[in-house]
Copies of this chain bind each other. A is one copy, B any other.
Amino acid sequence: MAVRHYTLDFNVSTAVDPTSTVSGLLSIFHEQELTETIHDTAGHGYLATFVGKNGRFVVLRVHSHGLVTVDLQCYEEDDIAQLDNLLNALENKLKVLLNGNITRIKKLPALLRGAKVDRYWPTADGRLIEYDIDKVVYEEDSEYQNIKILHSQQYGNILVLDGDVNLAESDSAYTRAITGSGKENYAGKEVLILGGGDGGILAELVKQKPKMITMVEISFTELLLVIDGCKKYMRKTCGDILDNLKGDCYQILIQDCVPLLKKYVQEGRTFDYVINDLTAIPISTSPEEDSTWEFLRLILDLSIQVLHPSGKYFTQGNSANLTEALNLFEERLGRLSCPVDFRKEVVCVPSYLEQWVFYTAWKK
């Protein structure tokens, strides 16, 4: 029982006369057996609503200053051809009525509201985006988050954690960027991966014959659910690497990474590479009110402490558009207990539909 919501908007260079415009459209509404109600807007233009058969509902607004908007809502299973005809009739009539003064006509793809499969996953910078998602292939709630794997025709299966697009099978660009953009040699190296439950980084790096990769996931439930979903439905990303928690040159540990990092610091253990795949930089720019910032600072500080003097720390940032949050992160990078230099890179990760920033940091 989803609703299809069409919008049709005319921008006009002059004020629009509601009387002539509306009376010009009424015959179209009446033909479609739509019953009209006119509303008093207290001086904010003309507003009428129309209710028709099959639950159809239309809103017509002639705004005072050069904008006419039409909304048409109907049920998904309604006769689409008939509704297209109605919209086209309204568009054509408005073209005649507003002739010569139209500066823009905008008919957006219909919003599908309440559909079984949700196709709208806004970007990190808050824009409305419709994905080509046709199926939910996996969904579980762990104690930490909601885990979904959705199928997209062009991106393959997409891992969505708590509503954020995390990684799709098309996104080798993400894995490449967070492992140093192909410029590193992992052969014989000690590597620590924080998070990375989708297995993409691990699967890529084992190919390069490192000495040992230690990957840390927070809990067994998390592991079971994220890894379970990924190893079934994201094989293009993780291959068979998640079939075993241990291999010749890797081990997956199930524990909170903070005490583990503290233990490594105490033991003086170091890594050639630390790859933080836990979380993006928080969007909120009030660190004092957001515990994620404190968590991020803690992980960052401990990670740099376990980094070999010539080692490298890789992490994702966030959307290139979230400049405030990125600046805040960079400022924090400058205030660690152990001084670091850093560089950043902007990368196009196909399924993100926004440019994404990645950071590399190393000890000064």
Contact = CB atoms under 8 A, between A and B. Distances in A.
A113 B7 contact: yes
A132 B3 CA distance: 27
A330 interface: no
A260 to B, nearest CB: 36
Contacts of A104: 114, 118
The bracket for how many chain A residues form the interface is 35 or more
A279 to B, nearest CB: 21
Copies of the chain in the assembly: 2
Interface string A105-135: 0101101011000111010011111111000
Contact of A69 (B9, B45, B113): B113
Interface in A1-57: 1-3, 5, 7, 9, 11, 35, 37, 39-42, 44-45, 47, 49, 51, 53-55, 57
Given A57-B47, A113-B69, A120 B132 contact: no
Contact of A355 (B2, B41, B154): B154
B128 A3 contact: no
B154 A126 contact: no
A55 B44 contact: yes
Contacts of A298: none
Nearest to A119: B127
B122 A109 contact: yes
Interface string A139-178: 0000000000000011100000000000000100100000
Contacts of A2: 67
B353 A1 contact: no
A109 B54 CA distance: 28
A137 interface: no
Nearest to A116: B11
Of A67, A71, A128, A319, chain B has the most CB atoms within 10 Å of the CB of A128
16 contacts: A1-B63, A1-B65, A1-B67, A2-B67, A5-B7, A39-B51, A41-B55, A42-B53, A61-B73, A108-B128, A109-B126, A127-B130, A154-B320, A154-B321, A154-B346, A348-B350
